[in-house]
A = this chain, B = another copy of it.
Amino acid sequence: MTVTTPKGFRASGIAVGLKSTGKPDLALVVNDGPEPASAAVFTSNRAQANPIIWSKKVIQNGPSRAVVLNSGGANCFTGEFGYETTRLTAVAVATEIGADPENILVCSTGLIGSGDQVFRDKIVTNIPKLVSALSSEDTVAASAILTTDSVEKTAVHQSNGWSIGAMAKGAGMLAPGLATMLVVITTDAALDSDALDRALRRSTAESFDRLDSDGCMSTNDQVTLLASGGSGVTPDETEFAEALAQVCDSLAAQLQADAEGSSHDIDIEVRGAASIEDAVEVGRSVARNNLFKAAIFGNDPNWGRVLAAIGTTQADFDPYAVDVSFNGVRLCHAGGPDRPVTDCDLTPRKTHVEIDLFAGSFSATVRTNDLTHDYVHENSAYSS
């Protein structure tokens, strides 16, 4: 159980033929209340899929009652026909569960530009079946949202009388600007939509927004947070936000660990920055540097490529003051060589790069992955 761990939620997942593998590809999460509330954050990519355009309106219409998600097609850049597919999907769900279509969130993931009549029919005609499969003990929804992911990503937090459950998908096009990927988080805490929105924005900013696996921002990213009030408990907002942050952090780490073709999970910790923004900018510049990422794949602690990357930023620092360590071994001190690179072992998957700018007291960690042959293969051998 994941999104159905909190009281007041049912979920389901079925296979409707969108995936050529025949695996589950349609999922539904329904909020049964008694006090439904909701919040969501969306990709900041200006090229937005039809479900994003739809869901951005829905989240303004008061508490969302359900979120329906499909893999096997992004329904992005599919024109007015594609938007109508999204709307008809919401209508079908609303009809079956007795709600207003204006309160049904829709998410899609898959190939951009795909979403024809066959795609529409497979989804819309199977909504009754999807609703029939709803259960408070569902085990399929988390797999039905996967695309190139190799494992399900879920997280649960149990607290004093209330809980959080979550599921996520995402393995490529993984570089959020505001939100990221498809994530559904549920809670039976009794909180209104404004409180959920505050907690969600804070949690995503420090988790998904700092995951930058391949520098490519998706058109379909959405993180949805639904509260049912089913526990009857209203937690302290800070306590709830911290629990939510832990859940988001766990999911971000799971996404990183399953990133397409990756052989290293690289945590780039930037310290001594003049501001959080500087720390994130510096971390992201390294995370997006292909030469650095290829070097890590080759187990080469190439600190020169780190300095070359951060030199392209506007952050406050003196290149000749910077220290760089790999897996705890300082190889660059004050912008010059420190120890031999052979002192450092980069063979473990888990890789820690620490950059000290000596320009202030702020720090941030950006998560990324290495650039590998398998990444190139997965993203060149077929369309995705």
Contacts and interface: CB of A to CB of B under 8 A. Distances in A.
Interface of A: 45-48, 74, 76-79, 82, 111-113, 172-173, 177, 214-219, 288-291, 294-295, 297-298, 300, 302-305, 307-313, 319-320, 332, 334-337, 341, 371-373, 375-377, 379-383
B336 A78 contact: yes
Given A79-B335, A312-B217, A319 B373 contact: no
A205 to B, nearest CB: 18
Contact of A215 (B289, B310, B379): B289
Given A295-B379, A336-B78, A214 B308 contact: no
Contacts of A320: 77, 79
B111 A304 contact: yes
Copies held by the complex: 2
A219 B307 contact: yes
Nearest to A218: B308
A198 to B, nearest CB: 26
**Chain A, interface SS category:** loop
Given A79-B336, A291-B172, A311 B373 contact: no
A117 to B, nearest CB: 13
Contact of A290 (B215, B308, B309, B313): B215
A334 B113 CA distance: 12
Contacts of A82: 336
A309 B215 CA distance: 10
Contacts of A376: 294, 297, 371-373, 375-376
A172 B304 CA distance: 14
A23 to B, nearest CB: 22
Contacts of A380: 294-295, 297-298, 300, 371
Contact of A300 (B288, B334, B383): B383
A96 to B, nearest CB: 30
A216 B303 contact: no
Q: What are the nearest 7 A-B pairs in CB distance? A: A112-B304, A47-B311, A298-B380, A294-B379, A79-B336, A45-B311, A46-B311
A380 B294 CA distance: 5
Nearest to A220: B308
Given A111-B304, A112-B304, A335-B79, A311 B217 contact: yes
A288 B77 contact: no
A283 to B, nearest CB: 16
Contacts of A219: 304, 307-308, 311
Nearest to A116: B337
Contact of A112 (B48, B218, B289, B305): B305
Given A78-B336, A291-B379, A373-B377, 18 more contacts: A47-B307, A47-B311, A74-B304, A76-B304, A76-B307, A77-B332, A78-B337, A82-B336, A112-B305, A113-B332, A214-B291, A217-B308, A218-B308, A294-B380, A295-B379, A295-B383, A371-B376, A373-B376
A376 B172 CA distance: 18
A112 B217 contact: no
Contacts of A48: 311, 319
5 contacts: A47-B308, A74-B304, A77-B332, A215-B289, A295-B383
B319 A375 contact: no
A190 to B, nearest CB: 38
Given A78-B337, A319-B47, A112 B308 contact: yes
A304 B335 contact: no
A307 B112 contact: yes
Contacts of A303: 113
